[in-house]
Chains A and B, each alone.
Chain A
Amino acid sequence: MATEQTRGLGRLLITPAVAALFIWMIVPLVMTIYFSTLDYNLLNPGTEAFVGLENYFYFLTDPAFLASLQNTLVLVGSVLAITVIIGTLVALLLDQAVIGRSIVRLMVIAPFFVMPTVSALVWKNLLMHPVSGLFAWIATSLGLRPIDWFAEAPLFAIILIVAWQWLPFATLILLTALQSLDEEQKEAAEMDGAGAFSTFFHITLPHLARPITVVILIETIFLLTVFAEIYVTTGGGPGLQTTNIAFLIYSQALIQFDVGTASAGGLVAVVLANIVAFFLVRIVGRNLET
């Protein structure tokens, strides 16, 4: 793509794709912006009126907003921490020549292919159910009181489910990165007298810095919008304990039928996501250079 001519041709050829993408993105965005300035409730159709920024004011001053913002950040942060740390450990394990490695690998990857709603239902009804769940059975057979996960530690329960879903992704990316680590480098470290821990912290972990960054960036994008798991298990409750921003917007729009405030919330979420992305790229994106 060096000459003027090839560059011009290149631009011409990508124009339709760029135009399609642009329309695809801009139309919903503009409509959302438009709705966010209306007093628009589905219960009173035909009475839409322009209200300026009032919807934003309601959304941002609603106590539910701060609570759900906090829940969102706790959820994203915890799942990131769990998946990156445990993912690294599992990847290290799978990188060793253990017996039946290919089967273990397949099993580790499997959760990624389970739909969020399905996995949430499995966790809710088969594992975490306070009466018939597996965890309850383990607790009672050990003589302990079973935990009612979704009542006593609802956010933690959601974090467990989401982390379980995202662990394979982190493991897979980190495992491929580990396999690309030059064997001679590890041997050089071995000759230099580095033990297993020193080798991990001085050689392996720096090598993983970049893939870990990728995992964090990609997971953050999806974790900011976790919805199905909450919808299926707790419905945002008890109270607001498991309501994140995505769920709050949903409840504004389809439980309270307030399209205007929901649209305003949606735009707030977009801005928030961009702020998070900005800081993430600032902090960890440095690893992606060169």
Chain B
Amino acid sequence: MGRITLEGVRKSFASHLIIKGADLDIDDGSFVVFVGPSGCGKTTLLRLIAGLEDVSEGRILIDGANVVGVPPSKRGLSMVFQSYALYPHMSVRGNIAFGLKMAGLPKAEIDRKVEAAAATLNLTPYLDRKPRELSGGQRQRVAIGRAIVREPKAFLFDEPLSNLDAALRVQMRLEVTRLQRQLGTTAVYVTHDQVEAMTMADRIVVLNAGRIEQYGSPLELYERPANIFVAGFIGSPRMNFIADEAARRYGAATIGVRPEHIKASRDGEGWEGLVTDAEHLGSDTFLHVDIAGIGNLTARSIGEIGLSAGDRARLLPDPAHIHRFDENGKALHA
């Protein structure tokens, strides 16, 4: 079991309110990702759940029991730190076993569990090495091993992959999700990488300046963003926003269209403009087009469509995928 509930959680450092009231219900066994721009309070929120920081206000429940004031070790959670925080003078075995040793388990049982965890993570050949003798990905796995061996109610990850190179990141991303699914343990995962968020999460929490902007499944966030912030944050390249005249025609203060929902052509229908930049990725083409009275829009097309910078192009937004927002930035639904 590992159901985590936040009720009106606030946190201030000195006089600065950093978490401005978070309400959240994390289901048992689900994989929840916190995303948001740098400094929005993701780490702080995770540390509040872990018990490494005290809440200023509100309650945190784990399986229905209020854990405010309960020390971290008694909350039954385990955490993977961004810096891994491995114990440098202990072997891999010692690192993974440390929590079990502190819990006073018998030696034989510790050995059995450590070896099982090491086997799951392909760490068996390295059990007697020191952390400094391991590669980044192996260290990462030791940190994860240390977390899973205690069979916690939930894992807390703070940007665990941000120190790895791109290829390893993709591989570890898959490994972490697979492992979490296999163990069925609740996971809370902090990242600022939206690809990680979209691919790993069952549900995503989008944070902005200490507030939860939206909580939903990746596709929900993509298809029905609750406000302009979420709409702009999820999706790459960013959603195009159009205000004023063109938006008013749709009965909104602002409308948003994702680049992939704009059809670009040399001479078809739609707004006409000048291509200022064209990014050719082979699989896709990103066109940046200046349109009089509307602004600079980005359009994404599959493959090559034979347009380059300096050409004139026409952009046609897909009416089924136009997002409408009121003057406060909230989404308007038909």
Chain A residues near B (Cβ < 8 Å): 182, 184-185, 187-194, 198, 202-203, 206-207, 209, 290
Contact = CB atoms under 8 A, between A and B. Distances in A.
Residue among B71, B77, B78, B98 with most chain A CB within 10 A: B98
B199 to A, nearest CB: 26
A121 B50 CA distance: 56
B271 interface: no
B79 interface: yes
Q: Name the interface size band of chain B.
A: 20 to 34
A188 B102 contact: no
B163 interface: no
Contacts, number: 60
Contact of A187 (B81, B90, B99): B81
A191 B72 contact: yes
A213 to B, nearest CB: 13
Nearest to A185: B85
Given A182-B85, A194-B102, A207-B89, A188 B79 contact: yes
Decide if the interface of chain B is mainly helix, strand, loop or mixed.
Answer: loop
A190 B52 contact: yes
Q: Which 9 A-B pairs have the closest CB atoms?
A: A192-B99, A193-B73, A184-B85, A188-B85, A193-B102, A206-B89, A184-B81, A185-B85, A194-B102
A182 B99 CA distance: 18
A170 to B, nearest CB: 21
A185 B103 CA distance: 18
A283 to B, nearest CB: 18
A41 B83 CA distance: 68
A276 B77 CA distance: 50
Contacts of A202: 87, 90, 98
Interface string B58-83: 00000000000001110001110111
Nearest to A188: B85
11 contacts: A187-B79, A190-B73, A191-B50, A191-B52, A191-B99, A192-B98, A192-B146, A193-B102, A193-B103, A206-B87, A207-B89
Contacts of B86: 185, 188
Contacts of B71: 190
Contact of B73 (A185, A192, A203, A207): A192
